[in-house]
Amino acid sequence: MIARTEPTVRRMREDELSGAPDGSLHHPAAGEGGGPGEAELPREQVGWVAEVRGRGAGSLVCALVLPKADPPSTHSLPRLTHFLENLFGRPKKLPVRVELLRYEVNGGPAGEAVERALLRRLLGELQSDWSRVPVVVPERCLAAQVALRGARYRAVRVLHAYFGDEDGYLLADEYTVPDFSPGREADRSARRSTARGS
């Protein structure tokens, strides 16, 4: 009887991320689910590698779409805030959305375990560090869609040609109502509060 080895998942190093897709995708215009300036939002890549017995068995790469930086201010209160952030540490900026850029699992007997380990890691980040933000998943990435549905995410919009020639599905937590229209942030928070309260 052959003992199965569970895959280990580690964060990708910078040199490994440099070979990943750069996130230069088609980003939606205002009419297709994106707000003004959507393509100019800063992006940061993060990824993980699953290994079985020290060999790469799969990988997952995401782009974190970050909010725009606040413009510098000349008032004293923002300068004091900036000083305190530098002194005690800057609060971590949460992404406004996560885009799944690459998801690969090598075949073989450990394939299913590798798939589960990578998706568990993604879901763990979404539920803790990234505060359950919406996720854009390529149409062909069924395993990620199923895993997200099992974690109470649902498809709320199809983003046509989001990944070049492939559509993307915008999946959101059942309590989140993604709306990329300007001036809707207050409405969104009110709906989330109401939904959580009931």
Local mean pLDDT, 10-residue blocks, the chain (198 residues):
75 82 45 50 89 90 83 63 68 79 85 91 85 90 91 91 92 69 39 42
∠ CA(126), CA(50), CA(124), 5° rounding? 15
Domains of the chain are: 8-197 (3.40.630.30)
- Please list, in sequence order, all residues whose beta carbon lies within 8 angstroms of the beta carbon of residue 133, skipping any fewer than 6 positions away: 94, 95, 96, 97, 98, 126, 176
The two three-digit tokens of residue 63, written as one number: 């782009």
Identify the pLDDT of residue 100.
Answer: 92
Identify the pLDDT of residue 94.
Answer: 74
Q: Give me the chain's average pLDDT, please.
A: 75
pLDDT tens figures, 74-130: 566 666 766 777 677 655 667 888 999 999 998 777 888 999 999 999 988 888 877
The two three-digit tokens of residue 197, written as one number: 């309260």
Identify the pLDDT of residue 15.
Answer: 86
Distance (Å, rounded) from C-alpha 27 to C-alpha 21?
15
Angle subtended by helix axes 142-150 and 111-127, to nearest 10? 50
